[in-house]
């Protein structure tokens, strides 16, 4: 640790000693005049001292060459273990995958491409079917329209006019 850390530790100690006196003063003060404000200031002083102390400790840790070397070594070791674990996993599952009958990643990619192609073919077939139906619909719609008009007018006469006035063409409810 460095000198700044111990300076901040001393300031935190002073602030922690000052807190109980400020609390006692706020309890004795009449109608809370001045005592509550002193207590609040003492609390903030202790908080600021604590934050500065933690900041100095972190700066000391980050600035230490020993810590840097230790972190570097641990990262190198963890990367080596990760590579070893990946190699063992690949070797284990390479033999297990075919035995279980599960598809490989390459097979799944190929299957997705085939499903995508089928989806495109289906969309094209639907579009062509819709175009064919659109060309046939006017003839069927006219025939259905004539039959419905005849039924509505009650006479099964396709040429009968449709009357749209309420009360004249239908009984009142």
Range of the domain at 50: 3-63
- DSSP secondary structure code for residue 155 in this structure: S
Q: What is the pLDDT of residues 27-63, one digit of tens each?
A: 877 665 667 888 888 888 999 999 999 998 888 888 8
48 in a domain, yes or no? yes
In terms of DSSP H, where are the helices of 29-160?
35-63, 65-100, 105-153
Average pLDDT, the chain: 79
The tally of domains found in the chain comes to 1
19 in a domain, yes or no? yes
Q: Please, is 22 exposed, middle or buried when counting C-beta atoms within 10 Å of its C-beta (0-12, 13-18, 19+)?
A: buried
52 in a domain, yes or no? yes
82 in a domain, yes or no? no
147 in a domain, yes or no? no
CA distance 55 to 116: 56
26 in a domain, yes or no? yes
40 in a domain, yes or no? yes
Statement: residue 154 has pLDDT above 80 = no
158 in a domain, yes or no? no
Quote the pLDDT of residue 37: 82
């Amino acid at each position: 640790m460095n000198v700044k850390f111990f300076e901040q530790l001393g300031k935190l100690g002073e602030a922690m000693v000052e807190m109980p006196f400020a609390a006692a003063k706020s309890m004795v003060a009449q109608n809370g005049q001045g005592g509550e404000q002193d207590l609040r200031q003492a609390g903030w002083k202790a908080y600021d001292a604590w934050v500065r102390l933690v900041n100095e400790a972190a700066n000391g840790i980050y600035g230490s060459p020993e810590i840097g070397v230790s972190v570097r070594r641990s990262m190198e070791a963890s990367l080596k273990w990760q590579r070893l674990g990946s190699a063992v996993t690949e070797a284990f599952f390479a033999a297990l995958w075919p035995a279980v009958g599960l598809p490989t990643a390459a097979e799944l990619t190929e299957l997705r491409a085939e499903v995508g192609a089928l989806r495109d073919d289906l969309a094209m077939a639907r579009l062509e079917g819709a175009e064919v139906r659109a060309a046939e619909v006017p003839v069927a719609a006219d025939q259905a329209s004539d039959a419905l008009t005849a039924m509505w007018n009650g006479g099964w006469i396709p040429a009968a006019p449709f009357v749209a006035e309420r009360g004249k063409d239908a009984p009142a409810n």
